[in-house]
């Protein structure tokens, strides 16, 4: 026997379940980058200088002093179609009022990834607020050349720091010294863990206020230390060059807490810099 109340409850349940499935389906679509929802944070968007392209600028999180992965999406302004082949060259500038300087960058490859992002990196060298940092880029795509300019609201410091400078002092033989500065940035994994972790850094040289070529001939030794406990860790692998300016090795953390990874740099047979380290807490 079919009771009327049971019919009403059954119909209600069906409607409720259908609505819930619709909501879950919509959420799933919103989380899919292929449906124009980004997994990254939108930093800024603008038309290029001559209105040839619309450009969206993304990052994984707030921009900070150190190694930032950045992502561009390009669209032809006239047609609205997405660009997947382009040459993009970054030009970051810090305006110090009395002078300006740049910082190291890694320009994207010429092909966007499967989700349409052109991925590069900017290694900001100091904090900045209210547009003191800006990021310009020259764009060549589909036979067109244009440029884009993004004033950056802020570049924040981090604690612990993710960028250091190793300074080499070499006598010139006449009472003076040749000073070379090597910005070193920590490329963090998504998560630090107890056990073996990939330890990756980038090394550049400050050739001028605007030029920071990569350095690929450093010899680097790491020594982890847990200062609060007075011990280190075994089975570490010193970083070696793996790509342009990148060095990768393995650091072994035997427990959670605050660690200090000391770095010794040697170049051209000479030890350079002193007391270089990165602090890592997890």
- Residue-wise pLDDT tens digits, 207-246: 999 999 999 999 999 999 999 999 999 999 999 999 999 9
Is residue 43 within 8 A of residue 57, CB to CB? The reply is: yes
Flag whether 78 is in a domain: yes
Residue 251's domain spans which residues? 163-281
pTM, 2 dp: 0.86
Domain end position, chosen among 131, 155, 179: 155
Flag whether 20 is in a domain: no
Beta strands 258-267 and 219-225 are: antiparallel
Q: Which helix (H) or strand (E) holds 172?
A: none
CA distance 73 to 201: 26
CA distance 83 to 85: 6
Flag whether 23 is in a domain: no
Query: Do 73 and 180 sit in the same domain of this protein?
Result: no
**Tokens read off for 202:** 């980038």
Flag whether 30 is in a domain: no
Is residue 252 within 8 A of residue 195, CB to CB? The reply is: yes
> What are 110-156's pLDDT values in tens digits?
999 999 999 999 999 999 999 999 999 999 999 999 999 999 999 99
Domain end position, chosen among 132, 155, 178: 155
Phi, psi at 11, each rounded to 5°: -65, -40
Higher pLDDT, 213 or 23: 213
Flag whether 6 is in a domain: no
């Amino acid at each position: 026997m079919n009771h009327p109340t049971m019919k009403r409850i059954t119909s209600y349940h069906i409607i409720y379940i259908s609505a819930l499935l619709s909501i879950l389906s919509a959420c799933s679509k919103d989380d899919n980058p292929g449906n124009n929802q980004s997994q990254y944070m939108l930093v800024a968007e603008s038309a290029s200088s001559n209105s040839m392209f619309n450009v969206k600028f993304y990052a994984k999180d707030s921009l900070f002093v150190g190694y930032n992965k950045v992502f561009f999406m390009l669209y032809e302004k006239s047609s609205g179609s997405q660009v997947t082949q382009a040459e993009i060259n970054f030009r970051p500038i810090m305006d110090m009022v009395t002078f300006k300087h740049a910082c190291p960058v890694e320009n994207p490859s010429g092909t966007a990834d499967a989700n349409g992002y052109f991925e590069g990196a900017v290694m900001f060298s100091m904090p900045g607020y209210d547009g003191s940092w800006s990021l310009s880029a020259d764009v060549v795509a589909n036979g067109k050349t244009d440029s884009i300019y993004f004033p950056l609201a802020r570049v924040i410091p981090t604690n612990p720091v993710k960028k250091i400078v190793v300074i080499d002092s070499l006598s010139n033989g006449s009472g003076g010294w040749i000073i070379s500065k090597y910005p070193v940035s920590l490329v963090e994994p998504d998560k630090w863990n107890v056990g073996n972790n990939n330890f990756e850094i980038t090394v550049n040289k400050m050739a001028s206020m605007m030029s920071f070529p990569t350095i690929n001939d450093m010899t680097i030794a790491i020594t982890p230390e847990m200062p609060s406990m007075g011990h280190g860790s075994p089975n570490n692998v010193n970083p070696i060059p793996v790509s342009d300016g990148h060095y990768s090795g393995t650091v072994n953390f035997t427990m959670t807490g605050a660690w200090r990874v000391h770095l010794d740099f040697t170049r051209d047979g000479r030890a350079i810099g002193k007391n270089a380290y990165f602090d890592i807490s997890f």
